[in-house]
Structure 1
Amino acid sequence: MKSLAILSILLSTARGVSLSTRGEDIQLFPADGAKNVNPDTQLKITFPSPPTIGSSGLIRVYDEADNKLIDTLNMSIPTSPSPFGNGSTKANYSDTTTYQTNIIGGLDFYFYPIIVRNNTATIYLHNNQLDYGRTYGVTIEPGVLKQGGFNGFTSNSSWTFSTKPHGPKAGTTDVVVAADGSADFSTVQGAIDWAPLNPTKRITIWIKDGNYEELVYWQYKTNLTIRGQSRNGTIVGYPNNSAFNPPNRQGPSRRPAFQMNGVTDVQLSSFTINNYYKGQAESLLVNGLRVVLDHMTLNGSGDGFTTYGTIYITDSKLTGDGDSVLGYGSVFWLRSEIDSHSAVTWTRTVQAQRHGNVFVNCTIIGLDGNDTFARLPDNTGGVMPNWPYAEVVLINTKTAGIAPVGWGPVAGPPFDTSHLHLWEYNTMDLDGQPVDVSQRLNVSRQLSLPKDAKILAEYTDPTYVLDGWTPVVL
């Protein structure tokens, strides 16, 4: 296992960037005239008091060598059909409006060209427009940002910066992300975009403590570890949900804050992922094989964490607003905690998949005081009715705020429940005392010894649950 000492060594040699004052009123990042800037940098303007975002005007970036226009943000273009994430969650395929769109990891997303937090306006250029070894000038038309007498920059020589001459050298296996621009990359997405698809040696992306407000999406990469400097100090998040980024006709979901699709042999360790919107709003969506989550904190809303494939989770915490685990995958949870409103999981195990969500030595807390472990709503009309192969198994689980019925509701027409695994063994309260299971839903089952010794031995073995994969935490 690589030590965090590597991170300290890398950071000790990283380049620092200082802010410069433009006039007496604002600070620019990168500073005017800054050198060795990362091409994935975000542009920031800090004012004496919070600015407001205008509804017109252009932000342009030029290559200073030939005055070529590199990128444009047009503030008259709406961000989304639901710019505050509170509109319809259904796709409107007749809508022909142009919205602010960014290509992230190969997929199109609606996005905010500017986000204001406190006194700082962060400008998000379109991804991968800047290059190494170039000098760029920025113009901002009046009306883009409103604060005091700020009138923007009409000349592309008013705010210039130069990027690093080159990126990480060929064969590099460890890179560092720092929000202040002092390392190899300034954004998590920038480092992931750099990582090769199928490296011969494992790649590790180290994220320095900081707040990384960015929408992260990537696909088809292998042999990759993303590791934060500290679980509570390294925060990656974005305001996103199914209203802000409604479904397209095809392709992956666009509503998570952080998503990986079609990946293999990936590990996320020691950082926090937040989705800042309510609704159908995952903190994380994983679609992959042999994925490890270790010492992670996930804060989502409805469907707070969606799973596909095979996933091993240890010493982590998920908070959600209902169906907090939308489970299509085979997932082994160890020493982890879920705090959830309403139903903790909606597990959609299919027959061929064999296993669903298995919790061993975990803690589950119902935040409303009368919540359930899993629900199976009526899904007639082309969808597998009630997911009759759904599997949620709790072994040595501490609980609070769970209704006496424990499971459900299971709704809709009668169906064959003989393959349904809503199982518990030794469910306890937070003090370790057995809970009353006498009112549990009739399609659930209490496991016991010695009768179920074989089942318990199998389901406490991640290799059995994860289809023959023996996970190793790096």
Structure 2
Amino acid sequence: MLCAILLIAVYPILLSCSNSSETTSTEEEDKTIKADGVVAADGTGDYKTVQEAIDAAPDNAQESYYIYIKNGIYKEVITVPRNKDHIHLVGEDAATTVLTYNNYASRIKPDGSDYGTSGSASFFVRGNNFVAENITFENTAGINAGQALAINIGGAHSSFRNCRFLGHQDTWYAGNGTYQYLKDCFIEGSVDFIFGGSTAFFDNCQLESTRNGYITAASTPEDQAYGYVFHQCTLTARSEIAKSSVYLGRPWRPHAQAVFIDCAMDKHIQQSGWHNWGNPDNERTAFYAEFNSRGWGASPETRVSWSRQLPAEEAVKFSYDKVIAGKHPDFIADDINLDIEP
């Protein structure tokens, strides 16, 4: 009899089969986690929608609740409520497990009001200690729709690995006082597509510009130690994007903080690097810095005078250990199996 145990490797999820009559060792059993729920749009799981699976999770949980999502396009506005902590979503494949919707800020709701920027998201994270792996979060409102979030993160601590965030203006948002760790993720957008006041560490991620604009619009609170740190990330653009047409960031709030460490920047990056959002006062308060940027878009000598090129001894202050270690939930270990057998 075939089994359905999914081995989560660094990126892909592989199907592993064995004879169910064989004796499983204690060591092997210890390396298996039973999925608490399986979502499948075709009806072959426990739930047909992601929201149903989340709603079924226990309130105020103290340990991870694992939801496996089979390949499919799930068009639904999804919310992880405040009382649903430790939700852990695992997709079958990042490219083909797609959570999507098409709301946008000026779209009118049935009650006659509009969604507004924060309300336009396809996915809302309000519970604490949320984790997602191998999933696409998408907003398909289009490049001319204005603000249209793929995700709105309000939960205090969250982690994302091998996830894709697709949209245009305001794709990825996380609120003040929250912490996010993003590992091996892809984020695309046009204007301010990574924004908000959170502490976020982007580790080996790809940032893809869909037109000329701004990558970040941080609103870091004045008393917060860190804003955005991009570590060994790659900054790319669609082929039609003009040379020197995309800024690394502009300050949504005066004390915006964004730091790029060991990042590769393609030719779409503005040689001046940063924008003051039309307010010279922001130049005195925003903290914009780089260390060891490379590629055509890395141009220390032409950056605005109020940004910083960090020496090595300053750059170490923005390491994973300093910024985010111990402040985000863990991913499933690479040698752990997720069992989705009923």
TM-score by length of 1: 0.57
Counterpart of 2:179, as a letter, is T
Task: Tell whether the 8 Å contact from 2:231 to 2:261 is kept in structure 1 after alignment.
Answer: yes
- Counterpart residue number, 1:350: 221
Counterpart of 2:122, as a letter, is A
Q: Secondary structure of 2:54's partner?
A: helix
Task: Tell whether the 8 Å contact from 1:327 to 1:357 is kept in structure 2 after alignment.
Answer: no
Instruction: Tell me by how many angstroms 1:202 deviates.
Output: 1.5
Flag the structure with more relative contact order, 1 or 2, with Cα contacts below 8 A and sequence separation at least 6. Answer: 2
Instruction: Tell me by how many angstroms 1:375 deviates.
Output: 1.1
Spell out the pairing of 1:121-200 with structure 2 (5 A cutoff). 174-200=36-62
How well do the aligned residues superpose, as a CA RMSD in angstroms? 2.7
- Counterpart residue number, 1:239: 102
Q: Secondary structure of 2:182's partner?
A: strand
Instruction: Tell me by how many angstroms 1:353 deviates.
Output: 2.4
Task: Tell whether the 8 Å contact from 1:388 to 1:420 is kept in structure 2 after alignment.
Answer: yes
Spell out the pairing of 1:253-402 with structure 2 (5 A cutoff). 253-261=118-126, 263-278=127-142, 279-308=146-175, 309-340=178-209, 341=211, 342-367=213-238, 368=241, 369=243, 370-376=245-251, 387-400=253-266, 401-402=268-269
Counterpart of 1:372, as a letter, is Y
Task: Tell whether the 8 Å contact from 1:347 to 1:390 is kept in structure 2 after alignment.
Answer: yes
Q: 1:459 aligns with which of 310, 313, 318?
A: 318
Instruction: Tell me by how many angstroms 1:467 deviates.
Output: 8.1
Instruction: Tell me by how many angstroms 1:189 deviates.
Output: 0.8
Distance in 2, Cα, partners of 1:267 & 1:407: 32
Task: Tell whether the 8 Å contact from 1:173 to 1:201 is kept in structure 2 after alignment.
Answer: no
- Counterpart residue number, 2:289: 423
1:213 corresponds to 2:75 = yes
Task: Tell whether the 8 Å contact from 2:215 to 2:246 is kept in structure 1 after alignment.
Answer: yes
TM-score by length of 2: 0.78
The gaps in structure 2 that reach 5 residues or longer are: 17-33, 333-342
Distance in 1, Cα, partners of 2:137 & 2:283: 38
Instruction: Tell me by how many angstroms 1:466 deviates.
Output: 3.3
Instruction: Tell me by how many angstroms 1:250 deviates.
Output: 11
Instruction: Tell me by how many angstroms 1:434 deviates.
Output: 8.6
The gaps in structure 1 that reach 5 residues or longer are: 10-171, 377-385
Task: Tell whether the 8 Å contact from 1:355 to 1:466 is kept in structure 2 after alignment.
Answer: no
Distance in 1, Cα, partners of 2:272 & 2:67: 44
Distance in 2, Cα, partners of 1:296 & 1:415: 33
Task: Tell whether the 8 Å contact from 2:132 to 2:159 is kept in structure 1 after alignment.
Answer: yes
Distance in 2, Cα, partners of 1:357 & 1:192: 29
**Greater CA drift, 244-253 or 394-403:** 244-253
Distance in 2, Cα, partners of 1:287 & 1:248: 22
- Counterpart residue number, 2:327: 469
Percent of aligned pairs with the same residue?
A: 26
Instruction: Tell me by how many angstroms 1:282 deviates.
Output: 0.8
Distance in 2, Cα, partners of 1:458 & 1:352: 17
Spell out the pairing of 1:44-83 with structure 2 (5 A cutoff). none
Q: How many residues align?
A: 292
Task: Tell whether the 8 Å contact from 2:181 to 2:328 is kept in structure 1 after alignment.
Answer: no
Instruction: Tell me by how many angstroms 1:331 deviates.
Output: 0.2
Task: Tell whether the 8 Å contact from 2:38 to 2:45 is kept in structure 1 after alignment.
Answer: yes
Distance in 2, Cα, partners of 1:437 & 1:201: 46
- Counterpart residue number, 1:57: none
Task: Tell whether the 8 Å contact from 2:148 to 2:168 is kept in structure 1 after alignment.
Answer: yes
Counterpart of 2:323, as a letter, is V
Instruction: Tell me by how many angstroms 1:406 deviates.
Output: 0.8
Instruction: Tell me by how many angstroms 1:460 deviates.
Output: 1.3
Instruction: Tell me by how many angstroms 1:5 deviates.
Output: 4.3
Instruction: Tell me by how many angstroms 1:193 deviates.
Output: 1.1
Counterpart of 1:443, as a letter, is W
Distance in 2, Cα, partners of 1:195 & 1:245: 31
**Deviations for 1:19-77, whole angstroms, at most 9, x for unmatched residues?**
xxxxxxxxxxxxxxxxxxxxxxxxxxxxxxxxxxxxxxxxxxxxxxxxxxxxxxxxxxx
Counterpart of 1:208, as a letter, is K
Task: Tell whether the 8 Å contact from 2:276 to 2:283 is kept in structure 1 after alignment.
Answer: no
- Counterpart residue number, 2:89: 226
Task: Tell whether the 8 Å contact from 2:53 to 2:67 is kept in structure 1 after alignment.
Answer: yes
Instruction: Tell me by how many angstroms 1:201 deviates.
Output: 3.2
Instruction: Tell me by how many angstroms 1:188 deviates.
Output: 0.6
Instruction: Tell me by how many angstroms 1:446 deviates.
Output: 0.5
Q: 1:444 aligns with which of 307, 327, 332?
A: 307
Distance in 2, Cα, partners of 1:317 & 1:204: 23
Larger radius of gyration between Structure 1 and Structure 2? 1
The 3 A distance-change label for structure 1 pair 435 and 415 is closer
